[in-house]
Amino acid sequence: MKYPDGQEIRLGDTVRLDGDAEGVVVFSIDTNEYAAEFPGDAWDYLKRGVMIDFPEYGLIHFDHDAPDLTLVRRAG
């Protein structure tokens, strides 16, 4: 998946949803990147997309490009 500006969404990215809530990408099925707490074999049934952990909303799975997601900062 990609941000509206064309950059790939990657594990550990801090993102903003709708210009308000911030969250962290905890895995990307598309790039085969998974945080230790989210092993791929437990989530690969989703087939594609990314999972983002938003403190305000919990886990949200996106399986298509999301025009309302923006990159705040890359991990590390």
In whole angstroms, what is the distance from residue 15 CA to residue 21 CA?
A: 8
pLDDT in tens, 27-76: 999 999 999 999 999 998 999 999 999 999 999 999 987 788 999 999 87
- In-domain check, residue 6: no
Is the predicted pLDDT of residue 6 greater than 80, yes or no? Answer: yes
- In-domain check, residue 3: no
Residue 38 burial (CB < 10 Å; 0-12/13-18/19+)?
middle
- In-domain check, residue 5: no
Write down the pLDDT at residue 23: 97
- Residue-range definition of the domain harbouring residue 42: 14-73
Write down the pLDDT at residue 27: 97
- In-domain check, residue 59: yes
Write down the pLDDT at residue 11: 97
Structural domains counted in the chain: 1
- In-domain check, residue 53: yes
- In-domain check, residue 8: no
* Stretch 14-25: mean pLDDT: 91
